[in-house]
């Protein structure tokens, strides 16, 4: 494995959050902002950020939901170490902790102290690529962040195992992976809600946010797309508000669609 680049501190949410992250390789961006925005501000239970990396999604969500307890679940030792530093540096040590483990293994989860089906909300940005279907980076750490060994189904199965009945899972993924996402969820979640994310008005979506509720029997709902950029290339007002931590995603709370 190549030596990791020295970490650098970057500001997010207009300076409300600072995160140490490697200066090369996988970087925190708009996907993390959008996924974290799925955390309801009134959430008061346990929120798990699965595949947390340096902790961006979970820590942004912690600022949105000040009553929530946050768990950052990450397999990579360097990323987990930076996540711990980020928890401390942002004054969130009383509400957030890091679980360093392979979340797909029940034994590894138990060994790390992550047990039980008790999460109220899981946010996850799973690896987007599957071996054999895409070119994989030769850098092992980058490949670990981008490639899901065994595909998406084991990842989602483990996520659902950590949810309490009535708890919600929200994931962000490539739009063209929606059939695989739905097939991997199967009957594990109901009340599915899909929010397409389009780069510009009139363009095809490149990302989707997909939410489901454990035990729900509500029908699937498809919402109008969230558009990220205007004609001038800058963020739309809606996207800009989300990047400042002030906005809301254009879908209702679970059970209200």
Out of 14-28, 36-50, 60-74, pick the least confident.
14-28
Three-class SS of the chain: CCCCCCEEEEEEHHHCEEEEEECCCCCCCHHHHHHHCCCCCCCCCEEEEECCCCCHHHHHHHHHCCCCEEEEEECCHHHHHHHHHHHHHCCCCCCEEEEECCCCCHHHHHHCCCCCCCEEEEEECCCCECECCECCCCCHHHHHHHECCCCHHHHHHHHHHCEEEEEEEEEEEEHHHHHHHHHHHCCCCEEEEEEEEEEECCCCCCEEEEEEECCCCCCCEECCCEEEECCCCCECHHHHHHHHCCCCCCCCCCCCC
Q: Report the pLDDT averaged over residues 54-78.
A: 97
pLDDT category at 138 given cuts 50, 70, 90 is low
Judged against a pLDDT cut of 90, whether residue 234 lies above it is answered with: yes
Local confidence band at 137 (pLDDT 50, 70, 90 cut-offs): very low
- The pTM of the whole model exceeds 0.75: yes
* Per-residue model confidence (pLDDT) at position 149: 62
CATH number given to 27-188: 3.40.50.150
Q: With cut-offs at 50, 70 and 90, classify the pLDDT of residue 130.
A: low
């Amino acid at each position: 494995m190549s030596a990791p680049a020295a970490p650098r501190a970057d500001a997010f949410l207009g300076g409300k959050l600072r995160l140490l992250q490697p200066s090369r390789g996988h970087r925190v961006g708009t996907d993390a902002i959008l996924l974290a925005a799925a955390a309801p501000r009134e959430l008061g239970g346990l929120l798990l950020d699965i595949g947390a990396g340096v902790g961006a999604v979970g820590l942004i969500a912690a600022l949105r939901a000040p009553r929530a307890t946050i768990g950052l679940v990450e397999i990579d030792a360097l990323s987990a170490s930076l996540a711990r530093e980020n928890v401390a540096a942002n004054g969130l040590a009383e509400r957030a902790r890091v679980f360093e483990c392979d979340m797909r293994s029940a034994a590894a989860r138990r060994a790390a102290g992550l047990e039980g089906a008790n999460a109220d909300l899981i946010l996850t940005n799973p690896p987007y690529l599957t071996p054999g279907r895409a070119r994989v980076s030769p850098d092992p750490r980058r490949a670990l962040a981008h490639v899901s060994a065994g595909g998406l189904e084991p990842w989602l199965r483990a996520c659902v195992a950590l949810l309490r009945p009535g708890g919600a899972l929200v994931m962000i993924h490539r739009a063209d992976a929606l059939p695989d996402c739905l097939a991997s969820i199967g009957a594990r979640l109901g009340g599915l809600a899909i929010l397409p994310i389009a780069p510009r008005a009139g363009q095809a979506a490149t990302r989707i946010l997909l939410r489901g509720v454990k035990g729900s029997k509500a029908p699937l709902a498809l919402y109008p797309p969230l558009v990220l950029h205007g004609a001038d290339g800058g963020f739309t007002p809606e996207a800009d508000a989300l990047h400042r931590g002030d906005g809301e995603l254009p879908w209702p709370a679970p059970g209200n669609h």
